[in-house]
Amino acid sequence: MIDVMESTELLACAQRLQALAQAGLAYATSPYDLERYQEVRTLSARLLHTLSDERFEKIIRVFASETGYQTPKVDIRAVLFRGLDQVLLVKEKLDGDKWTLPGGWADVGYTPFEVATKEALEETGLVVKPVRLLALFDKRKHAHPPQPWYVYKAFIQCDIVGGSLLADTTETSGARWFRKDELSAIELSSDRVTESQLLTLFRFAEQPQLHALCD
């Protein structure tokens, strides 16, 4: 029986094996080495499938589409405060209408601030102006459910400069302002944001002079 700590350690090992295999496939020249690296990649994908909820076919498809030296994926979240004690959350359709901060994967060709602006508009209808990076977290160091991808999470504070709040978008089914004391009573999309992270982010609304956090 594997406990949570062992599962986390095995997941980290599987992610590292996958990264080594991808680098080997990018730089090895011997056909024998390439065959071995491909086998390591397949075995790491099987281990990742066992340790996470992702389908094996999806893991293979996503890993097989990546070449070159592997780096972490980047998830960017827009943080919108109202006063000192409210933050805007949206309901994520892909995760059963659970609540999260607006955001998503970083896009090639966009700066982090541009991604935050784009995601906020698409998921809330609000036009925002990014003002500062609040935190850059390593996902494995926080209480997110296990997943195959190694992820850095960037939380960017934004000010509202226009638009109007939408009740429904392509990706979200609602949006609402929440006080800090309401967070424990709602179901969060824990793959995207945790209650602990939100409570930490509230410190920046209360103490704007704080320096950005980084794991």
Domains and CATH numbers, the chain: 4-64 (no CATH), 73-214 (3.90.79.10)
The angle at the Cα of 123, spanning 121 to 124, to the nearest 5 degrees, equals 70
**36: how many CB neighbours lie within 10 A of its CB?**
15
Helix (H) or strand (E) holding 23: helix 4-27
pLDDT in 10s for each residue of the chain, 215 residues: 455 566 777 878 888 888 888 888 888 888 888 898 888 888 888 888 887 777 777 777 766 667 777 789 999 999 999 999 999 999 999 999 999 999 999 998 999 999 999 999 999 999 999 999 999 999 999 999 887 788 999 999 999 999 999 999 999 999 999 999 999 999 999 999 999 999 999 999 999 999 999 99
Contact 39, 24 (CB under 8 A): no
Residue 188 carries which DSSP code? B
79 φ/ψ sector (left φ>0, alpha ψ -120 to 50, else beta) = beta
pTM summary value: 0.78
